[in-house]
């Protein structure tokens, strides 16, 4: 049909093409996994960069008087108990001992509901007092047992998570990529040795290796990064080696060699650019994994040391208070889950776009 | 096939040997064990005495050979932080707890994952399917300790159905087993779903339907058994998850197993116990992996030659 058309139609084809290009861009934007991206930007990236400006309170030093305040939507609760001479241990939810009651009234913490007309507390009176303090917008997500603002700590924790995961992946991924490329390119003994080490590394349960390493070097920020990098490199090496082997077979590598390119040049200029997609996709898929590893190590006391607000440390802080102050452990838990979930969704999407082969890795 | 098995076993033994060496080396780097064995004000003679008693006065390579020799005879050494007990005793005490927990977690994963995986495959692209997807993706994204604590908070603190932590009757093991199994449920369910979908699409299933075989029989007899092969070969991964997961979950729920023990030993710098437990875990891990590889090679002959 196009062959018999006149010039206006030709420009029509041109605009169609242009429209096709626009449609492509629109489609690409529409296919972007929006929710995970938004969650990541607001939960991880913005707090990580602007933690100092955004955090409403100091993340390390708390106000002890404000310890264990609940999140803002929890209002204060009251309890009524009957005053008895000596409270029965099994009935503490309805009874209160006389001395204890008198102390509470003196401090103004309790009011006498009935029977207190004479102004003193006697057995048989009913006492009403504050059981739990209420939350306020001062501390939107509540405070921990040292009176530190949970929201501020989660913001600073985002910075730790982002820093640890990017540095560890840079280090481990870089090392793994280099070794994988060398194994594939050099072949022979180099390949055999590198791949044996990879096998042995993959035969070692990762958390245990991490724990033993941390016990050996001593916990700290640098240790965590090094340990996670040690855990990561083997997978990169294996995947990159497989890809690089396929690339090495292709004609342009032979031609580069014939034209006199050195081994280093062939690896960096001819093989590596063809691996970039794989490496980027692997890195995105690993971020979630690294955040889980880091928080698990911190939770077990073998990661980031205590006063630093890493999410795992915060969860460990709240663990003992799970019966009385749930917000201390729950919010950092949710921060980890949401971040990792979004990162995984983003990684899946990127893999399908850039390197669908990796689906089985 | 024999050659393949032999090769994998030799590789496994090599791996275990390297792990022995690495744990030995790392345990020695991790601070001088003398700091734990002795009070600070110990005299020179006392130090010499203790050194001789623990064999720490010999050069490192002699200590290593001694360690390997003892290991060969099944002697894992005397625990440092637990007076009057050997590492073997400590492990024997706690091993049944870890096995109980892992076994229950494994059963829980199978019992939940296979039927649900089949269900979401049959009901593809319905709310069931989306729910299952969400559940599986959450399983990959939540660290084990978070799953454990959230389950503890809901079922032990809010609903008061189970105790929060510790050990005792059957009610103590349920929450840790669920938490430990969650990741595996998610992974197995996804695998079952995708392999079910593949099988449901084959010619022989269509033929069975044309022949008028009832739908439940098509699903459970013709498809499910064939679809089971893929998830079963992933049991190596599952073993790994159970081992690393048990370290975390036992700490969360104060469950007196090997994971709990190794965390304590690391805190107390008891390198003997750390070495022993890590070695045991790694050996179990290697054995599971070999078994899975052999099983896989048995099912899929192409593997043997790569």
- Going edge to edge, which strands form the sheet with A95-97? A95-97, A77-84, A126-132, A110-114
Q: Do B144 and A336 touch (CB under 8 A)?
A: no
- Give the model confidence (pLDDT) of B138-197 as tens digits: 888 888 899 989 988 888 888 877 777 777 777 788 888 888 888 888 888 888 888 888
Is B129's pLDDT higher than 50?
A: yes
Q: Do A205 and B248 touch (CB under 8 A)?
A: no
Residue B19: closest C-alpha in chain A: A204
How far apart CA A253 and CA A265 sit, in angstroms, is 11
Longest dimension (CA), chain B: 89
Three-state DSSP state, A86: coil
Q: Which of residues 245-274 of B touch A (CB under 8 A)?
A: 247-248, 251-252, 262-263, 266-267, 269, 274
Three-state DSSP state, A325: coil
**Interface check B213 vs A, CB under 8 A:** no
Query: pLDDT 10s digit of each residue in chain A, 361 long?
Result: 444 444 444 445 555 566 677 777 777 766 777 787 888 888 788 888 887 887 787 777 777 777 777 887 777 777 777 777 777 767 666 777 777 777 777 776 677 766 656 667 777 777 777 767 777 777 888 888 888 888 888 888 888 888 999 999 999 999 999 999 888 888 888 888 888 888 777 767 777 778 877 777 777 888 889 989 988 898 889 888 888 888 888 888 888 888 888 888 888 888 888 888 888 888 888 888 899 989 998 888 888 887 788 898 889 888 888 888 888 889 999 999 999 988 888 888 888 877 777 665 5
The closest alpha carbon to B122, from B200, B217, B209, B227, belongs to B200
- Mean of the pLDDT values across residues B71-87? 77
ipTM tops 0.85: no
Lowest mean pLDDT among A309-318, B14-23, B48-57, B93-102: B48-57
Q: Do A204 and B262 touch (CB under 8 A)?
A: no
Extract long-range pairs of A195-201: CB within 8 Å, 24+ residues apart: A195/A237, A195/A238, A195/A241, A196/B14, A197/A234, A198/A234, A198/A237, A198/A238, A199/B11, A199/B15, A200/B14, A200/B15, A200/B18, A200/B19, A201/A233, A201/A234
A213, A216, A322: residue with CB nearest B164:
A322
Residue A326: closest C-alpha in chain B: B153
pLDDT band at B201 (very low <50, low <70, confident <90, very high): confident
For position A1, what pLDDT does the model report?
40
- The domains found in chain B, sorted by start residue, are 2-72 (no CATH), 87-304 (1.10.3720.10)
Q: Which of residues 307-346 of A touch B (CB under 8 A)?
A: 312, 315, 319, 322-323, 326, 329-330, 333, 336-337, 340-341, 344-345
Distance from CA of B141 to the nearest CA of A (A): 5
User: Average pLDDT over chain B, rounded to whole?
Assistant: 79
Here the tokens at position B291 are: 């078994």
Q: Determine if residue B168 is left, alpha or beta; phi over 0 gives left, psi from -120 to 50 gives alpha, anything else beta.
A: left
B23, B152, B251: residue with CB nearest A300:
B251
Contacts of A326 in chain B (CB under 8 A): 153, 157
For position B236, what pLDDT does the model report?
66
pTM (2 d.p.): 0.80
A211, A299, A326: residue with CB nearest B153:
A326
A207, A319, A337: residue with CB nearest B141:
A337
Write the secondary structure of A190-241 as one string of H (helix), E (strand) and C (coil).
HHHHHHHHHHHHHCCCHHHHHHHHHHHHCCCHHHHHHHHHHHHHHHHHHHHH
- Mean of the pLDDT values across residues B291-302? 71
**Interface check A199 vs B, CB under 8 A:** yes
The CA-based angle A149-A150-A153, given to 5 degrees, is 90
Sign of CA dihedral B276, B278, B279, B281: positive
Percent of chain B at pLDDT > 90 equals: 1
For position A333, what pLDDT does the model report?
92
How far apart CA A266 and CA A272 sit, in angstroms, is 8
Give the strand pairing for A110-114 and A95-97. unpaired
Q: Do B243 and A205 touch (CB under 8 A)?
A: yes
Give the strand pairing for A77-84 and A95-97. parallel
């Amino acid at each position: 049909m196009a062959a018999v058309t006149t010039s206006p139609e030709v420009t029509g084809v041109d605009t169609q093409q242009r429209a096709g290009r626009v449609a492509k861009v629109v489609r690409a934007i529409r296919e972007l996994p929006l929710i995970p991206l938004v969650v990541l930007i607001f939960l991880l990236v913005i707090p990580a960069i602007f933690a100092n400006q955004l955090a409403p309170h100091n993340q390390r030093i708390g106000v002890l008087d404000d310890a264990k305040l609940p999140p803002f939507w929890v209002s204060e609760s009251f309890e009524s108990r009957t005053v008895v001479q000596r409270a029965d241990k099994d009935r503490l939810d309805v009874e209160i001992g006389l001395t204890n009651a008198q102390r509470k009234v003196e401090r103004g913490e309790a009011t006498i509901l009935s029977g207190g007309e004479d102004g003193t507390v006697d057995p048989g009176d009913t006492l009403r007092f504050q059981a739990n303090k209420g939350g306020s917008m001062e501390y939107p997500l509540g405070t921990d047992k040292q009176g530190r603002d949970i929201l501020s700590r989660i913001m600073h924790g985002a910075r730790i998570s982002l820093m640890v995961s990017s540095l560890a992946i840079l280090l481990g991924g870089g090392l793994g990529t280099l070794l994988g490329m060398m194994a594939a390119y050099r072949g022979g003994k180099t390949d055999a040795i590198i791949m044996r080490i990879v096998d042995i590394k993959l035969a070692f349960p990762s958390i245990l290796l991490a724990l033993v390493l941390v016990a050996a070097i001593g916990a700290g920020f640098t240790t965590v990064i090094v340990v996670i990098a040690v855990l990561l490199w083997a997978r990169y090496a294996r995947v990159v080696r497989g890809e690089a082997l396929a690339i090495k077979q292709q004609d342009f590598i032979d031609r580069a060699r014939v034209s006199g390119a050195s081994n280093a040049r062939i690896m960096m200029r001819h093989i590596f650019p063809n691996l970039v997609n794989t490496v980027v996709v692997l890195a995105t898929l690993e971020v979630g994994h690294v955040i889980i590893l880091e928080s698990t190590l911190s939770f077990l006391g073998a990661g980031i040391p205590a006063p630093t607000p890493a999410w795992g440390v915060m969860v460990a802080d709240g663990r003992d208070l799970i019966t009385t102050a749930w917000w201390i452990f729950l919010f950092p838990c949710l921060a980890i889950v949401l971040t990792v979930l979004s990162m995984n969704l983003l990684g899946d999407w990127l893999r399908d776009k850039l390197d669908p082969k990796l689906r089985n890795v | 096939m024999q050659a393949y098995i032999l090769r994998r076993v030799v590789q496994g033994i090599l791996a275990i040997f390297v792990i022995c060496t690495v744990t030995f080396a790392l345990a020695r780097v991790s601070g001088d064990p003398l700091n734990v064995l002795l009070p600070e004000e110990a005299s020179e003679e006392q130090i010499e005495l203790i050194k001789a008693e623990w064999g720490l006065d010999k050069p490192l390579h002699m200590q290593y050979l001694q360690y390997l020799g003892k290991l060969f005879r099944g002697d894992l050494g005397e625990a440092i932080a637990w007076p009057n007990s050997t590492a073997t005793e400590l492990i024997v005490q706690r091993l049944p707890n870890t096995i109980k927990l892992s076994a229950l977690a494994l059963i829980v994963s199978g019992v939940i994952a296979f039927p649900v995986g089949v269900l979401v495959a049959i009901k593809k692209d319905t709310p069931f399917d989306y729910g299952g997807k969400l559940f599986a993706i959450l399983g990959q994204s939540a660290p084990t300790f978070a799953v454990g604590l959230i389950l503890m908070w809901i079922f032990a603190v809010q609903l008061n159905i189970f105790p929060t932590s510790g050990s005792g009757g059957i009610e103590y093991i349920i929450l840790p087993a669920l938490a430990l199994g969650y990741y595996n449920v998610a992974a197995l369910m996804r695998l079952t779903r995708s392999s079910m979908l593949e099988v449901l699409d084959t010619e022989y299933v269509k033929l069975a339907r044309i022949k008028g075989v009832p739908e439940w029989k098509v699903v459970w007899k013709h498809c499910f058994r064939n679809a089971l092969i893929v998830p079963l070969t992933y049991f190596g991964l599952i073993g790994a998850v159970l081992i690393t997961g048990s370290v975390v979950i036992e700490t969360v729920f104060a469950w007196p197993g090997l994971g709990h023990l190794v965390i304590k030993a690391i805190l107390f710098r008891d390198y003997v116990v750390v070495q022993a437990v890590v070695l045991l875990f790694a050996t179990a891990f290697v054995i599971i992996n070999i078994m899975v590889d052999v099983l896989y090679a048995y099912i899929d002959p192409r593997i043997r030659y790569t």
